[in-house]
C-alpha cells in the first residue's frame, strides 16, 4: 500500500467514523474498511453525563440569587488511523479526528451558540446580537495529519523528524504561558472540569529528536484569528475613529492573530532506581493586531514569553515547576470616542453624538446630567419647525468630523457655531450662559491619546509529592505566584504592566487540583484593580480570570487502595489565595473607592475529588468545593463592575458596610457540586 492508498483508506475510515457517530446501520459495509498490514485504524470515544449545582458561586452574594443547577452530557468520538508498519517497519503517517457533541439538557441554546454580531439602527450602534443552533449537532474538535519527513521526501536523517498540520493540542510547560484552550466551551463559573476545550487551534508543528531519547524539539505555529481572508475584511473601515488613520481607515491586509512557540524536552536521566528528570525550556511569540480596550481594534499587542519547566518522578517522591517572564508591549491607538448613540428625549427616540454637546461648556462642569445637551445627530437635511428643509445637521457634523480639530488639544473646547441648529433640531435645551446659542463643544474626554504598555509580568509555580505504601498514599503540596498590577489602561500614559499575561490558559493545578478559583474555564473573576487616578478608559474595573495577580499555596492527600475489588480514588485538598496587588477599599455607603488599601487575602478553598470505577472503563465521579472569601472581598463588598450593577447599587439604601443585603459582589461562602459518569470505549 502506498501513501495515496493510505489517504483513500483514511477518507473511507472517516466516512465510517461519521456514520458510526450518527448511529447509521453499517451491517454489510465492514468489508470496505478492513485493516491491512500497512493500514490500521482505531475507533474510540468517551461519554460523560453529569450534573452541577452551585450556590453563591459568581458574586459570593446571597442577595444576587447566585444559584444554578443543570445537567448536561459531552460525547467525544475519535478515529485514529496509521499507515506504513509493514513497508517501513514503523507507522510513517497518522491521521486523527475527534467529533464532539455537548448539550445542557433542557437548554437548546447551549448546543451551538454563535458569535455575536453588532447591530446598526440607522447610524447608531445598538449592541450585539446572536442566535444559536437548537439541535444536537456534532462538530470537529480535533483533526490533524502527521507524517515522517525523511521517509516522505526520501531524505536521510539520523533521527526521525515529523510534520503535523491541522487542529491539535499543544502547550508549553504546564499550559500556563501557552495552553490548549483555543475554543473553551461555555461553563458556569466555579465548576471544575478537565473536559472543556471544544476545539483546538489550527496550526502546524515540526518536531523530532535531536539526540534520540534524550533531546526532543517542537516548533509550533498557529492561527488564532485571520482577518485577511476576505476583501470585505480588508476594506472594512475599522479605524475610522483612530486619529492616526484619518486618510486610510480601512483595515488593510495582514491583520492575523498568530502564535509561534518552540520548546525543547531534555531527558536529563532515566533510571529504574533514581527515577526520571525532564527539563523543558520554551519560548513563544503572539502577534495580536486587533485587541479591544474600549472599542473593537483600538489596540494591538506583541507578546513574548520565555519560560522553563521541569518534572521529576522517582519511586518515593515527585516534584515539578514552571516559571516564565513576559516581554513585549501593547500599543493603544489614539482614538475619537465620539459615537452615534440612541437616546430617549422627551419620550421621542433620537440619535445623538455621545461626546459632543450643544449649548453646554463641559469645562464649567455645572451640570449633573449632561445627556440632554448631547448634540443631535443628523448628517442629512432635516425639516425645520416651519416645514422647510434645513442643512444645519449636515453643517454640525462637518464641524464634529473636522480632521483639523480631531486631536487632544480640542478636548473640552468649543469647535464652532452652527446658526439655527437649536431652532431647527428637535429637543435642544437653552444654552447655559455664557455659552452662545448653537455653540458646539467637545467632551473633556472625547479624544484619547496613544500610549504603550510594556509587558514585565512573571510567574512561578511548583509542587511535589511523597509516596507511601507503594504509592497507595500520596501527600502533595503546591505553591505559586503570578505577578499582578493595577489596570494599565486607566492612566493614558506610557508605562509598564507588571501583571503576568498567559495565553489560552486553563491551569487548575497538577498534583493539587483546584475545583473553584483555578478551575479551568470556570474561574471566579477577580477585579483587576484600577489605579487611584481617575481614568478615561472606562468607569469600571476590568475583571480577569487568567493566571495573573495571584499568590497561593495548597496541600492534598491522594489515596488509592489496591486491595479492593473496585478501584477507588479519594483526593481531598485545600488552597489558600492572596492577591499580589489588591487596589483600594470600596465604600458602599459613599458608593466609591477610598484611598485606603484593601487587604490581600482572597480566601480559602476546600475540595473533594472522588472516583469509583464500576468497571475498568466506567467510573462514577464526585467533585465538590467550598470557597470561604477572605478579607479582600469584605473590603470591596458592593463594588460594581458594570452599569447595571452601578444602577442596582445606587437604588439600594445602605446604612452599614456590614449590611448583608448590599448588592453586587459580596463576601458570603460559596459551594459547588459536580456528579457524573464517565464511560470510555
Q: What does pTM read for this prediction?
A: 0.88
> How many domains are there within the chain?
1
Give the mean pLDDT of 125-154: 82
Is 366 or 392 the better-scoring residue by pLDDT? 392
Among 9-23, 132-146, 279-293, 502-516, the range scoring the smallest mean pLDDT is 9-23
Q: Which residue has the higher pLDDT, 126 or 326?
A: 326
> Following DSSP, what letter does each residue of 334-400 receive, concatenated?
PEE---EEEEEETTEEEEEEEEEEES--TTT---S--GGGEEE--SS-EE-TTS-EE-HHHHHHHHH
CA angle 508, 188, 324 (to 5 degrees): 25
Radius of gyration of the chain (CA): 29
Q: Is the per-residue pLDDT at 285 higher than 80?
A: yes
Residue 350: domain span: 340-448
Inside any domain, residue 603: no
Residue that wins the pLDDT comparison between 152 and 113:
152
Query: Is position 361 within any domain?
Result: yes
Residue range 175-192: average pLDDT? 63
pLDDT at 276 over 60: yes
Does any domain span residue 421? yes
Residues sharing a CB contact under 8 Å with residue 413, sequence separation 6 or more, in sequence order: 363, 441, 442
Confidence of residue 93 (pLDDT cuts 50, 70, 90): very high
pLDDT band at 593 (very low <50, low <70, confident <90, very high): confident
Q: 26 pLDDT band (50/70/90 cuts)?
A: very low
Could you read off the pLDDT of 447-466 as tens digits, one per residue?
999 999 999 999 999 999 99
Query: What local confidence, expressed as pLDDT, does residue 119 receive?
Result: 59
Look at residue 192 and tell me if it is in a domain: no
| 252-262 mean pLDDT | 94
Task: Report d(CA 358, CA 411) in Å as an integer.
Answer: 14
pLDDT at 386 over 70: no
* pLDDT tops 90 at residue 14: no
Assign residue 488 a region (left: φ > 0; alpha: ψ between -120 and 50; beta: otherwise): alpha
pLDDT for the residue 486: 80
Strands 495-497 and 451-455: parallel
Task: Write out the H or E segment, with its range, that includes residue 184.
Answer: strand 183-184
Q: Percent of the chain scored above 70 by pLDDT?
A: 84
Q: How many residues does the chain have?
A: 681
Q: Among 243, 647, 236, which Cα is nearest to 442's?
A: 243
Q: What does the mean pLDDT of the chain come to?
A: 85
* Range of lowest pLDDT (5-19, 176-190, 195-209, 318-332): 5-19
Q: Is the pLDDT of residue 45 over 90?
A: yes
CB neighbours of residue 41 within 10 Å: 20
Give percent of the chain above pLDDT 90.
Answer: 50
Where does the pLDDT of residue 192 fall: very low under 50, low under 70, confident under 90, or very high at 90 and above? very low
Whether 328 shows a pLDDT value over 90: the answer reads: yes
- pLDDT tens digits along 523-562: 456 665 554 333 344 456 666 667 888 999 999 999 999 8
Question: Is 31 part of a structural domain of the chain?
Answer: no
Q: Computed from CA positions of residues 651, 657, 661, 662, in that sequence, does the dihedral angle turn out positive or negative?
A: positive
Is 584 a member of any domain? no
- For residue 520, pLDDT over 60 is answered with no
Read off the C-alpha cell for 449: 491619546
- All 3 cell numbers of residue 566? 473496585
Burial 219-240 (b: 16+ CB within 10 A, else e): ebbbebeebeeeeebeebebbe
Asked if the model's pLDDT at residue 127 lies above 70, the reply is no
Q: Are 206 and 263 in contact (CB under 8 A)?
A: no
- Per-residue pLDDT at 157 exceeds 60: yes
pLDDT at 120: 59
Could you report the per-residue pLDDT of 389-435, keeping only the tens digit for each?
Answer: 778 888 888 888 888 888 888 999 999 999 988 887 878 888 888 88
pLDDT at 30 (0 to 100)? 46
Q: Which of 373, 297, 363, 305 is nearest to 332 (CA)?
A: 297
Residue 221: predicted pLDDT:
97
pLDDT, residue 191, reads 39
Residues 462-483: pLDDT tens digits? 999 999 999 999 999 999 999 9
In this prediction, residue 209 carries a pLDDT of 95
Q: How confident is the model at residue 20 (pLDDT cuts 50, 70, 90)?
A: low
- CA–CA gap between residue 527 and residue 543 (Å, rounded): 4
Amino acid at each position: 500500500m502506498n501513501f495515496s492508498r493510505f489517504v483513500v483508506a483514511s477518507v473511507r475510515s472517516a466516512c465510517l467514523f461519521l456514520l458510526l457517530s450518527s448511529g447509521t446501520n453499517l451491517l454489510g459495509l465492514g468489508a470496505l474498511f478492513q485493516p491491512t498490514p500497512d493500514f490500521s485504524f482505531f475507533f474510540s470515544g468517551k461519554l460523560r453525563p453529569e450534573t452541577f449545582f452551585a450556590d453563591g458561586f459568581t458574586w459570593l452574594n446571597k442577595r444576587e440569587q447566585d444559584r444554578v443547577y443543570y445537567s448536561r452530557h459531552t460525547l467525544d468520538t475519535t478515529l485514529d488511523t496509521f499507515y506504513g508498519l509493514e513497508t517501513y517497519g514503523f507507522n510513517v503517517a497518522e491521521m486523527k479526528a475527534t467529533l464532539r457533541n455537548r448539550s445542557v439538557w433542557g437548554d437548546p441554546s447551549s448546543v451551538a451558540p454563535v458569535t455575536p454580531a453588532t447591530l446598526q439602527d440607522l447610524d447608531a450602534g445598538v449592541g450585539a446580537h446572536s442566535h444559536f443552533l437548537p439541535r444536537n449537532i456534532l462538530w470537529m474538535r480535533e483533526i490533524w495529519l502527521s507524517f515522517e519527513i525523511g521517509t516522505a521526501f526520501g531524505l536521510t536523517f539520523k533521527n526521525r523528524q515529523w510534520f503535523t498540520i491541522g487542529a491539535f493540542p499543544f502547550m508549553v510547560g504546564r499550559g500556563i504561558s501557552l495552553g490548549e484552550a483555543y475554543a473553551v466551551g461555555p461553563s458556569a463559573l466555579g465548576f471544575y472540569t478537565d473536559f472543556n476545550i471544544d476545539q483546538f487551534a489550527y496550526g502546524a508543528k515540526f518536531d523530532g529528536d535531536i539526540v534520540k531519547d534524550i533531546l526532543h524539539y517542537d516548533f509550533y505555529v498557529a492561527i488564532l484569528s485571520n482577518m485577511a481572508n476576505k476583501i470585505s475584511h480588508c476594506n472594512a473601515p475599522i479605524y475610522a475613529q483612530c486619529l492616526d488613520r484619518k486618510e486610510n481607515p480601512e483595515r488593510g491586509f495582514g491583520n492575523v492573530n498568530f502564535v509561534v512557540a518552540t520548546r525543547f524536552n531534555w531527558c536529563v536521566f532515566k533510571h529504574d532506581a533514581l527515577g526520571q528528570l525532564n527539563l523543558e525550556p520554551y519560548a513563544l511569540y503572539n502577534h495580536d493586531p486587533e485587541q479591544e480596550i474600549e472599542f473593537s481594534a483600538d489596540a494591538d499587542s506583541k507578546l513574548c514569553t520565555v519560560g522553563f519547566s521541569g518534572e521529576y518522578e522517582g519511586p518515593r517522591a515527585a516534584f515539578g515547576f514552571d516559571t516564565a517572564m513576559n516581554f513585549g508591549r501593547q500599543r493603544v491607538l489614539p482614538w475619537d470616542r465620539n459615537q452615534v448613540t440612541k437616546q430617549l428625549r422627551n419620550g421621542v427616540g433620537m440619535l445623538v453624538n455621545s461626546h459632543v454637546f450643544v449649548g453646554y461648556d463641559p469645562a464649567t462642569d455645572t451640570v449633573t446630567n449632561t445627556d440632554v445637551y448631547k448634540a443631535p445627530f443628523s448628517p442629512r437635511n432635516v425639516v425645520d419647525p416651519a416645514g422647510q428643509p434645513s442643512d444645519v445637521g449636515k453643517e454640525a457634523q462637518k464641524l464634529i468630523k473636522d480632521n483639523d480639530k480631531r486631536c487632544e488639544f480640542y478636548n473640552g473646547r468649543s469647535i464652532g457655531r452652527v446658526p439655527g441648529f437649536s431652532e431647527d433640531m428637535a429637543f435642544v435645551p437653552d444654552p447655559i450662559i455664557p455659552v452662545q446659542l448653537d455653540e458646539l463643544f467637545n467632551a473633556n474626554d472625547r479624544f484619547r491619546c496613544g500610549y504603550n504598555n510594556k509587558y514585565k509580568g512573571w510567574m512561578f509555580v511548583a509542587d511535589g509529592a511523597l509516596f507511601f505504601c507503594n504509592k497507595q498514599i500520596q501527600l502533595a503540596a503546591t505553591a505559586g505566584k503570578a505577578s499582578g498590577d493595577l489596570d494599565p489602561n486607566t492612566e493614558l500614559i506610557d508605562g509598564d504592566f507588571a501583571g503576568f499575561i498567559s495565553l489560552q490558559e486553563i491551569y487548575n493545578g497538577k498534583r493539587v487540583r483546584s475545583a473553584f478559583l483555578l478551575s479551568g474555564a470556570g474561574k471566579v473573576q477577580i477585579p483587576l484593580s484600577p489605579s487611584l487616578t481617575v481614568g478615561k478608559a472606562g468607569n469600571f474595573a476590568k475583571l480577569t480570570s487568567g493566571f495573573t495577580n495571584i499568590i497561593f499555596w495548597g496541600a492534598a492527600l491522594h489515596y488509592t487502595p489496591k486491595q479492593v475489588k473496585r478501584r477507588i480514588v479519594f483526593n481531598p485538598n485545600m488552597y489558600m489565595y492572596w492577591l499580589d496587588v489588591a487596589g483600594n477599599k470600596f465604600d458602599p455607603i459613599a458608593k466609591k473607592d477610598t484611598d485606603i488599601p484593601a487587604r490581600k487575602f482572597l480566601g480559602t478553598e476546600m475540595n473533594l475529588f472522588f472516583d469509583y470505577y464500576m468497571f475498568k472503563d466506567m467510573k462514577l465521579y464526585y467533585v465538590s468545593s467550598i470557597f470561604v472569601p477572605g478579607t479582600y472581598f469584605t473590603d470591596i463588598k458592593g463594588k460594581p463592575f458594570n452599569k447595571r450593577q452601578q444602577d442596582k447599587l445606587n437604588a439600594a439604601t445602605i446604612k452599614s458596610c456590614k449590611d448583608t443585603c448590599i448588592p453586587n459582589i459580596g463576601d458570603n461562602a460559596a459551594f459547588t457540586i459536580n456528579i457524573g459518569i464517565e464511560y470510555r470505549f
